[in-house]
């Protein structure tokens, strides 16, 4: 009895803390021009030095194509910096830098010139660049369960860097003249009057399978070397496997779970009564989608092999992973970063101009019944953008269209609701929630 009462009190206190935390929470500054300018200058130098190294190590066509390939990416990366898609926040950076430093200290072969950045993207993912840069999405802090799992993802990306997978992939494509061969065959296909689709598809299929196979090999190599690095640290072995289970789960997750009553609750306004026709959905049952059945096995082109395949591979080569316990409870520092990452999810979607998805996630949060004032504010902000887009005939840039093959029923319902709203109705919703403030 006393144990149950203690658990209940702990739950109430936790919920009280979260609510207070959210009501007083201010999103991370997105207008830090000094940070952007310094980061841009830093990476212009990093990329310049990397390209000098490429030119000194390679020659002829290979040198030119490598410089061109990476040059295009580097321009995009600088644009990401200019757009403010990287975050300066000492709370997150302290943990990220600490994990990298520990891995370096316990594994002397890891380069000392690694640097790690935090991006605003709300999904769980990370990537490594050949110049020694690691990028971690803020969404990883929300979806991963503890610091050990975060360390496992970082270990994996460091292994990609050490094994030079990005560079090797580009060299392979240049050696096999994949880009040139592709352009030549596409040109031939376009000259045909009939059968263009089938031949183009077969070519794309071959290219994807070849590239997909190489990526899967690289992922397994990075898993193995990454775990060797990881197991030399204080982090728990089991969490290396648990992290990849979560990575696979959230890499394929689709928006779902929103009940229709939420629409009636939040869009029946004093200035605009709820209209049941807003919930009407097109009847897709009359369409035959069988001819559009996926022709490429998704696993063959996935950026990560299936969790079962990767875990079996690790357990085969590392017997200590043969039995894995459930995820351990996160420490207080990681829990706080989880809360921040969750509260940053919608602002980040707004900043990245994912307004439609931001509204869907906001409604999910409102359905949970926590942080209500905070999320009502962001509901207004995103509806303002949707209204502006609709007025300018650009709504399809920020709001998906209904696709029964790829979307859950609740997400289709959401999209139908949004597309059913008229321009004036969108304006009324935006103005109502804009006036509610935060």
Q: Which two tokens stand for residue 266?
A: 């939040």
Do the Cβ atoms of 236 and 331 come closer than 8 Å?
no
Long-range contacts of 56-59 (CB under 8 A, 24+ apart): none
CA–CA gap between residue 364 and residue 356 (Å, rounded)? 13
The 3-state DSSP class for residue 241 equals helix
- pLDDT per residue as tens, the chain (438 positions): 333 433 333 343 344 444 445 556 888 887 789 999 999 999 999 999 999 999 999 999 889 989 988 898 899 999 999 999 999 999 999 999 999 999 999 999 999 999 999 999 998 889 999 999 999 999 999 999 999 999 999 999 999 999 998 888 888 877 776 555 544 654 565 455 444 444 444 544 444 444 567 778 888 999 999 999 999 999 999 999 999 888 767 655 566 789 999 999 999 999 999 999 999 998 655 444 343 333 333 333 344 446 778 888 999 999 999 888 999 999 999 999 999 999 999 999 999 999 999 999 999 999 998 889 999 999 999 999 999 999 999 999 999 999 888 888 899 999 999 999 999 999 999 999 998 754
Q: How far apart are CA 236 and CA 81, in angstroms?
A: 34
Q: What is the pLDDT of residue 193?
A: 44
Q: How far apart are CA 345 and CA 337, in angstroms?
A: 12
The side-by-side arrangement of strands in the sheet containing 133-137 is 86-87, 115-119, 133-137, 126-128
CA distance 175 to 61: 10
The pLDDT, as a whole number, for residue 25 is: 83
Residue 138, classified by CB atoms within 10 Å of its CB into exposed (0-12), middle (13-18) or buried (19+), is buried
Q: Which residues pair with 119 in a beta bridge?
A: 86, 137
User: What Rg value do the Cα atoms of the chain yield, rounded?
Assistant: 24
CA gap 415, 20 in Å, rounded? 32
**Residue 185: its pLDDT value, please?**
56
Taking the complete model, does pTM exceed 0.85, yes or no? no
């Amino acid at each position: 009895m006393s144990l149950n009462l203690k658990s209940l009190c702990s739950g109430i206190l936790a919920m009280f803390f979260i609510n207070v935390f959210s009501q007083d929470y201010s999103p991370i500054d997105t207008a830090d021009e000094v940070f952007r300018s310094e980061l841009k200058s830093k990476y212009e130098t990093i990329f310049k030095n990397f390209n000098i190294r490429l030119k000194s190590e390679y020659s002829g066509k290979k040198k030119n194509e490598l410089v061109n390939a990476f040059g295009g990416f580097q321009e995009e990366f600088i644009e990401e910096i200019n757009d403010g898609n990287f975050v300066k926040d000492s709370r997150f950076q302290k943990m990220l830098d600490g994990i990298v430093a520990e891995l370096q200290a316990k594994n002397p072969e890891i380069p000392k010139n690694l640097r790690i950045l935090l991006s605003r993207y709300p999904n769980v993912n990370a990537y490594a660049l050949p110049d020694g840069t690691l990028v971690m999405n803020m969404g990883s802090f929300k979806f991963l369960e503890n610091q050990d799992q975060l360390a496992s993802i970082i270990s994996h990306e460091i292994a990609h860097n050490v094994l030079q997978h990005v560079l090797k992939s580009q060299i392979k494509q240049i050696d096999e003249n994949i880009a040139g061969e592709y352009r030549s065959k596409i040109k031939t296909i376009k000259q045909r009057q009939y059968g263009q689709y089938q031949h183009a598809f077969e070519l794309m299929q071959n290219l994807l399978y070849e590239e997909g196979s190489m990526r899967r090999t690289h992922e397994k190599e990075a898993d193995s070397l990454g775990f060797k690095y990881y197991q030399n640290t204080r982090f728990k072995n089991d969490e290396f496997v648990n992290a990849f289970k979560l990575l696979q789960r959230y890499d394929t997750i689709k928006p779902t779970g929103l009940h229709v009553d939420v629409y009636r609750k939040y869009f029946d306004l004093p200035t605009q009564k709820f209209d049941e026709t807003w919930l009407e959905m097109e009847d897709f049952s009359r369409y035959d989608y069988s001819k559009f059945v996926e022709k490429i096995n998704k696993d063959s082109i996935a950026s990560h092999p299936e969790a079962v395949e990767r875990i079996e591979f690790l357990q085969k080569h590392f017997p200590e992973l043969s039995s894995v316990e459930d995820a351990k409870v996160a420490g207080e520092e990681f829990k706080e970063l989880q809360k921040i990452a969750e509260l940053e999810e919608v602002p980040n979607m707004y900043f990245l101009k994912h307004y439609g998805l931001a509204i869907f996630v906001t409604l999910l949060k409102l359905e949970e019944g926590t942080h209500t004032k905070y999320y009502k504010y962001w509901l207004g902000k995103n509806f303002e953008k949707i209204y502006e887009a609709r007025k300018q005939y650009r709504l399809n840039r920020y709001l998906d269209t209904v696709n029964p093959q790829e979307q859950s029923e609740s997400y289709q319902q959401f999209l139908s609701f949004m597309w059913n709203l008229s321009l004036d109705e969108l304006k009324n919703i935006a103005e109502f929630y804009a006036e509610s403030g935060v």
